A and B are shown apart, each in its own frame.
Chain A
Amino acid sequence: MTRRITVAAKVEDARALGYLRTLRDIFPGSKIRSVAVAQAYTVDAKLTAKEIDTFARRLTNPLIDEYSTSRVIAPKKYTFVIEIGFHPGVTDNVAKTARQMLEDALGKKLKKDEDVYTSFFVFLDGVSRSDAEAMARELHNPLIERASIYDAKQAKRGLPIVVPQVHLHERVAVDAVSLDVSDDELVRIGKEGVANPDGTRRGPLALSLNAMKTIQSHYRKLKRLPTDIELESLAQTWSEHCKHSIFADPIDEVKEGIYKRYIKGATQKIRKSKGKRDFCLSVFTDNAGGIAFDGEYIVTHKVETHNSPSALDPFGGAITGIVGVNRDALGFGLGAKPIANVYGYCVGDPHKDVPVYRDAAKKQPLLPSRRILEGVIRGVNAGGNQSGIPTPLGFVATDPRYRGKPLVFAGTVGFLPRKSAGRVLHKKKARAGDYIVVAGGRVGLDGIHGATFSSEALASGSPATAVQIGDPITQKKMSDAVVREARDRALYTSITDNGAGGISCSIAEMAKECGGALVNLEKVPLKYPGLSPWQIWISESQERMTFAVPKKHWKELKKLFDRHDVEACVVGEFTASGKCVVKYKGKTIMDMHMEFLHDGRPVEHQKTRKPVYTNIEPPKSIRNVPLEKSLLALLSRSNIGSISFISQQYDHEVQGTSVTKPLQGRGRVNADAGVIQPLPHSKKGVVLSHGFFPWYSDIDTYAMAAASIDAAVRSAVCAGASLEHLAVLDNFCWSSSNTPERLYELKESAKAVYDTAVAYGTPYISGKDSMFNDFRGFDAKGKKIHIAAPPTLLISAIGVIDDVSRAVTIDFKAEGDRIYLIGETHDELGASEYFALLSEKAKKTYVGTGVPRTHTKKNLLAYRALEHAIQKGCIASALSVGRGGLAVALSKSAIGGQLGALLDLSQLPGNASSDDAILFSESQGRVLVSVRAGMEAEFEKAMKGAKCTRIGTVKGSELSLIAGSSTLKIPLGTLTAAYRASFKDW
């Protein structure tokens, strides 16, 4: 029998008030008077009324809540009620907890087919039906949730009980797929997937005609047809997402491909020249990159993107992204503990709604950028906070070209001992005869075709099953069991995470370590019955890790997992057969040579072509805006302004490791670097920073990439890092990567990636790419549109420092301190935020041409000198000059310290000729520092040889500066308000 329990607050409910605030903001025209909410638990199980009541009591805190098992608790007055619940099969974490509480309270397990589901009721008073409908659209995401609207009259007659049980009518069968078909059909299979008997398609394989032909001839040689699971498996393993073919394959004269020559090549060269000072321990080969922390510990880092899923379900996409990259730490070596998360969100203008649709009929709108941003923020909030991992660093970048597909970066730093139980922990090797063990969550249809989907542009056929929702608590339980106990008891020989491609990728990957695998697919625990074998094999259901477990340790490991309430089971055995064999209920359904699976992919020869750029300079007439006005306008742009509302809702203090905070100084200004201290008894620290300038790609992707690396390195040095022990990570997010022009831009950026890192001696330790951030759909007029994300490179830096008490923050500290600018200021306003501002005002596009160039030789000298000055204790504050230029940097340090400054910028080295260039040019290599009065001589001595100009003094409560023929005086209060304006009401 199905029963519904509702629980509602008896006392003032901040969540209901929160809804009221939000709805009033978004629907200022509605007459909404009040909002009330009630949480519903629908129990679909054979239980007595008494048992239901016992459960209801457990769900209720009598001091603050009330419950009912017979009716939906409603407020006295309302006009409409909306019920929102998940679609069948969507991860419902609250229901999972409720079910555990029920089982714990009753001391018995629910039967097969019995379950608990949740939904919630939102009661709205004073709204019309059309208001209620609009509000329902705002409050739910139809891809994952259902919303039903009832007026008060209907509701009083009784609200229907919905049981979102999964009913699969799919045939649990394995089909052979004929490839003896026309090229057109091969293309179709590659693009839309294997055909079902009813003619529908199973979803994208993202295999090119070339790849399909390679598979065709392989199976002709074998004289049999491939099974569907074999084809799906090849699609997963060969996907751009997994094999990074664009980086791997030859491009023009670069026969070994971009990755080998420019990325790995840079690291090899740097490691060689460092010799004994090389700190890399495990690079590119594992789930994350690992460097030495000290003689006893390793620190790892990995940054991922989760763009396509976040476009469809921002919350689910982002939580899955962050919890997924946490598993990259867990899956490093024999298991690292996640100790910090970082994030970056690139979205369309969140303050402007630009409607776009996935279909011509305009039935499938994309979520507005505001909701995408809100959703991804919430997703990382839930994932990071619930996992107990601090978030010391992150950023938001906006551009209209992120409207189609947002970029959602999520990174995790891991930490592990170098040795434990006699084992070197950054090495792992599954052995033939070891059990294949999968632990964590169960498998459903979630995330099917995630890997192949992200290798394609977003369009109307994009599968909704690609959406999934992470479950941080299930993963946290597993993480505790692994890094606290199982690893150090040496209970497994290898571990890897299940991300893209699910076990099809993780098992195939680990099988490389020993030479083969045999899987019994029916052993994999399922969320619900009815999944076909190919679905089980490639499902990306979350929170799962795969282990290689020596048979003699299985019992002990199983017992350990049981104690931690973690589900784990043996699904097969690693072998040395040279084959990856999958059986289902005894029948062999996949039998593939490891060699073909991993190396059979046809190589594509890529050709590039230099694009023609037609960027124009803004005319003098529109550069006449008063500089004060422009500075305040820049400070209040979302690419520069405060994102304190995000920093404050992400726990950056958990684990007790925080040293410098995401918000720095009295004025709480967002920093581009953060420092943590991983061990309570060692002063050694880890510095994290980032750099990105996607806008520069409009002029020159070489300059874009160089600036990104320069900025990340520079921000790290400002916070106290040393170039001696600093590594970087690359995340390329490109679009239209099948066009020769974009490939040209990619190649150019890769050259910069090599040149800049080699110059600074900062090796790449890990990287990831996402090559098709395109959206093909329709605008409000129903016209076909293509939105391509600007070529974006995120560089993340990670460094190790000896003493966290020498870390530096960006805020001015005291009156009388001397202010210096390190570096040169040139006429480099091309693709600057200033030009973007002017363009917006003029409603035209003026990108300009003078893009900032990175001069590594000069910069290196300056950074080393700065490092020295910081160690000497001369520096009170340091801030790398970035987006918005020197005027914005000065404002940030002033707002941070809530201290004014008296400045003369007339004598800056460099060729900046106009006053606005002095203030807003984004020339790289520059650092703004303040030096404690009395330490000038020592500082200047330390900086000898580097360009370093004294520009003023910390003083008073206004920013007062001379730039060429202009004089600016802006009170701190005005600056602070402008800086906080962009997300003021968020």
Chain B
Amino acid sequence: MIKPKVTIFSGYGLNCEEETKAAFEFAGAEAHIRHINDIIATPSVLKESQVLAFPGGFSYGDDTGSGKAYGNRVKEHLSEELDAFLQRDTLAIGICNGFQILTSAGLLPGALIANDSARFICRWVDLKVEGHSPWLRGIESLSLPIAHGEGKYYADQKTLAQLKKDDAVALRYERGPMSEHFDLPGNPNGALENIAGVTAYDGRVLGLMPHPERAIRFTQLPQWTCEKERYLRDGAPVPEEGPGIALFRNAVDYFA
């Protein structure tokens, strides 16, 4: 099996690159963290990669709007290279701040704006999968953590219509098992039509607010001590893995 090469962007306050790398490696990929300035200096690294990841974080402190400054930097210096990368049969993912960066850079439709609560929120959400993104193949629904202040998805009518036409809505928040367990609303931030993730390039580029890389192990779940007791009482084995690993496996399998 071929080990796909993953380039994970870093620098200027991105901060989820290490756990994103661990998730890709756990799924069987070869992942490298690279500072955006190094990529700008040597863009050829993109030619050698099959997967690009824009991880979560707080690039430029969200100053002037989340993802804006980093998105501009990407657009300013790497437009052509990213275009060439996406011309090939490759994958890209933007997680949380990475999603905000990709929308700012114009690689994904729509925008992310301040949560309805006007406050940063960290909790787990339930997601329903739609569309046909290879990142989400075989997954119907899953629960993942979110952690953001500006995660409310917004698109104007035209963009929304185009999204639907392209089958490009990938994830929607729903009131599923996690929200039920903790008695929390399904939609955490007021996102338009409960949209949590969208795609472009026929599903190959996925942007999502939730963090699959923080849901790799069973003991990362927020209610695992409760679930564990249930498994023990049922005499069932306690699971080892979390739901997020599926996305990274899908990426690896895409190149198999």
Contact = CB atoms under 8 A, between A and B. Distances in A.
Given A651-B122, A932-B233, A477 B12 contact: yes
16 contacts: A14-B117, A15-B114, A15-B118, A18-B118, A59-B65, A63-B111, A94-B64, A97-B63, A97-B64, A100-B69, A477-B12, A656-B211, A664-B225, A807-B219, A809-B225, A876-B229
Nearest to B220: A658
Interface of A: 7, 9, 11, 13-15, 17-18, 39, 58-59, 61, 63-65, 93-94, 96-98, 100-101, 104-105, 381-382, 385-388, 471-473, 476-477, 480, 484, 563-565, 648-661, 664-666, 668, 677, 680-681, 804-805, 807-809, 811, 813-814, 873, 876, 897, 932
Interface residues of B, number: 74
Contact of A101 (B13, B64, B120, B233): B64
A799 B154 CA distance: 44
Contacts of A661: 222
Contacts of A813: 225-226, 229
A64 B219 contact: no
Contacts, number: 198
B16 A654 contact: yes
A654 B63 CA distance: 20
B233 A814 contact: yes
Contacts of B12: 473, 477, 565
Contact of A652 (B62, B117, B122, B218): B122
Contacts of A657: 19
A814 B231 CA distance: 12
Contact of A649 (B37, B110, B116, B122): B122
Nearest to B188: A648
B65 A65 contact: yes
Interface in B94-138: 104, 110-111, 113-123
Contacts of A65: 65
Contacts of B197: none
B254 interface: no
A653 B18 contact: no
B216 A564 contact: no
Contacts of A648: 121-123
A101 B65 CA distance: 12
Contacts of B26: 680
A563 B37 contact: yes
B13 A804 contact: no
Contacts of A668: 182
B232 interface: yes
A61 B117 CA distance: 21
B83 interface: no
B58 A388 contact: yes
Nearest to A107: B76
A651 B120 contact: yes
Contacts of B114: 13-15, 18
Contact of A63 (B10, B15, B110, B214): B110
Contacts of B33: 484
Given A14-B114, A563-B37, A653 B145 contact: yes
B68 interface: yes
Contacts of A472: 13, 58, 61
Contacts of B238: 805
B64 A59 contact: yes
Contacts of B141: none
The 9 closest A-B pairs by CB, nearest first: A388-B15, A18-B118, A656-B19, A97-B63, A14-B114, A386-B58, A680-B22, A94-B63, A813-B229
B38 A563 contact: yes
Given A473-B63, A665-B226, 17 more contacts: A14-B116, A63-B110, A93-B63, A97-B64, A97-B69, A386-B13, A473-B60, A650-B120, A653-B211, A653-B220, A656-B19, A658-B220, A666-B181, A666-B223, A666-B226, A805-B219, A932-B229
A812 B145 CA distance: 23
B72 interface: yes
B229 A61 contact: no
Contacts of A39: 64
Contact of B147 (A471, A653, A804): A653
Interface string B1-33: 000000000111101101100110010000001
A654 B226 contact: no
A809 B129 CA distance: 31
Interface in B170-191: 181-183, 190
A883 to B, nearest CB: 23
B132 to A, nearest CB: 25
Nearest to B56: A654
B162 interface: no
Given A11-B113, A666-B183, A63 B19 contact: no
A656 B214 contact: yes
A98 B73 CA distance: 12
B249 interface: no
A653 B13 contact: no
Contacts of A811: 225-226
Contacts of B47: none
A705 B182 CA distance: 36
Nearest to A58: B72
Contact of B13 (A18, A104, A477): A477
A98 B37 CA distance: 18
A659 B58 contact: no
Contacts of A382: 61
Contacts of A804: 219
A111 B234 CA distance: 70
A64 B154 contact: yes
A15 B56 CA distance: 22
Interface in B191-221: 211, 213-214, 216-220
A328 to B, nearest CB: 19
A59 B72 CA distance: 9
A658 B124 CA distance: 12
A169 B236 CA distance: 76
Contacts of A98: 63-64
A814 B111 contact: no
B184 to A, nearest CB: 9
Contacts of A101: 64, 68-69, 72
B155 interface: yes
A554 to B, nearest CB: 20
A897 B116 CA distance: 29
A64 B66 CA distance: 12
A216 B218 CA distance: 66
Nearest to B238: A805
Contacts of B11: 477, 480, 564-565
* Interface-centre pick from A564, A656, A661, A809 (highest chain B CB count, 10 A): A656
B219 A14 contact: no
Nearest to B152: A14
Contact of A656 (B22, B60, B68, B232): B22
Contacts of A656: 16, 19, 22-23, 211, 213-214, 216, 220
A101 B75 CA distance: 12
Interface in B225-256: 225-226, 228-230, 232-233, 238
- Centre residue among B56, B219, B230 by max chain A CB count within 10 A: B219
A105 B181 contact: no
Given A11-B113, A649-B119, A653-B214, A61 B219 contact: no
Contacts of B181: 666
B61 A386 contact: yes
A97 B147 contact: no
B61 A93 contact: yes
A804 B65 CA distance: 38
A808 B33 CA distance: 35
Contacts of A653: 122, 145, 147, 211, 214, 220
Contacts of B113: 9, 11, 13-14, 64
